[in-house]
Structure 1
Amino acid sequence: MPEFVREMRRGEEEAVDGLLRRAFGGADEAQLVLALRKSGAMAGEMVLPFEGGVVGYYALSAMKGPKGWLCLAPVAIDPDWQGRGHGRRMVKQLVAWAEASKSSICVLGDVDFYKNCGFSPVTDVELTTPYSADHTLVAGTGPLKGAVALEYPKAFGS
């Protein structure tokens, strides 16, 4: 079994880069993470360690809008570790943190997976987003009212 999810430590960047490339079959997500770090938009990086390596990862970046919101992306589990519930466990822990800290997190992705982890689809709100509103979910926000305009960090557009 892997260890507990914890903050990424200095020196683990290369392991995370390799994990992202294996999990997504390419460099796009690894390049996104590098761009988020370089731009200063990275709010936090968490890893799931195992025997000195990294088998899971997620990044939180600061949204440009709404103020104070965070964006969850990417989330990755090493292909050899997928299908065992580790990704779901990591994301559920993040949702619990968001609720306890009254933080607002949005994610764009597999609706069923993120709903099972505690995220909620955005409904009954006028949502403006550069991405698919049907695949946008939120956690920790409580009931949303009025209009919500999501503005992602610049790194997401590159």
Structure 2
Amino acid sequence: MTPAFPGFTRPMQPGEEDAVRDLLDAAFGGNDESRLVDALRTSGDMAGEMVLPMGERVIGYYALSPFRAPKGWLCLAPVAVAPDLQGNGHGRRMIGQLAEWARLTGQYVVVLGQEEFYEKAGFRKDRAARLTSPYPLEHTLLAGPGEDAPAQALRYPKPFDGL
């Protein structure tokens, strides 16, 4: 019997790659994000992959990869929740835990995405105001220590080139 609620976010385990690929393809309606994840894994640019299980099913996922610059900062992408379970707070809980981890550990994490969702999960758009990026700053948010708006130039991992 499948539980009615997901478990806790945990590191992806070997053998879950196909489940993650299927989740990403379903959530985004194509394979661009699953190809990005494959490229991050192949290039060695994957810092971590987390899943949200519900019984035997993977219903949530996010990947962290190290920026080329600034050193030590992490890029959050992609993030997905199974389409049939979106809107139930699973993604906000999953990403909220990540934002709190970033604050407590002193780790800067940057995401490019829907401001309303990520701000509810603990990321802040105003803290990203002084970043420079090859991607639109109006969709860039930051989580991590402090309250400042660091002035940094973001250089994404190579697999992001050309996206």
Q: Is the TM-score greater than 0.5? A: yes
Moved more, 72-81 or 116-125: 116-125
Residue identity in the other structure for 2:79: V
Cα drift, residue 128 of structure 1: 1.4
Cα drift, residue 157 of structure 1: 1.5
Please name the residue that 1:72 is paired with: 76
* Residue number among 49, 54, 61 corresponding to 1:50 in the alignment: 54
Cα drift, residue 125 of structure 1: 5.1
* Residue number among 29, 35, 52 corresponding to 2:33 in the alignment: 29
SS of 2:152's equivalent? strand
Change (3 A) 1:100 1:21: same
- Point out where structure 1 has 5 or more consecutive residues left out of the alignment: none
Change (3 A) 1:136 1:53: same
Structure 1 stretches of 4+ with a deviation exceeding 2 A read 122-127
User: Are the counterparts in 2 of residues 125 and 148 from structure 1 also a CA contact under 8 Å?
Assistant: no
**What TM-score do you get using the length of structure 2 for normalisation?**
0.92
Cα drift, residue 52 of structure 1: 1.1
Mapping 1:7-156, distance limit 5 Å: 7-122=11-126, 126-142=130-146, 143-145=148-150, 147-156=151-160
User: Are the counterparts in 1 of residues 20 and 61 from structure 2 also a CA contact under 8 Å?
Assistant: yes
Aligned-pair identity in percent equals 56
User: Are the counterparts in 1 of residues 26 and 82 from structure 2 also a CA contact under 8 Å?
Assistant: yes
More strand as a share of residues: 1
1:43-73 Cα distance to aligned partner (Å, 9 max, x none) = 0000011121201000001111110000000
Change (3 A) 1:83 1:65: same
RMSD over aligned Cα atoms: 1.3
Change (3 A) 1:36 1:98: same
- Point out where structure 2 has 5 or more consecutive residues left out of the alignment: none
1:94-146 Cα distance to aligned partner (Å, 9 max, x none) = 0010011000000000011111111111458532100001111000142134x
Aligned residues between the structures: 157
Residue identity in the other structure for 2:149: L
Change (3 A) 1:66 1:141: farther
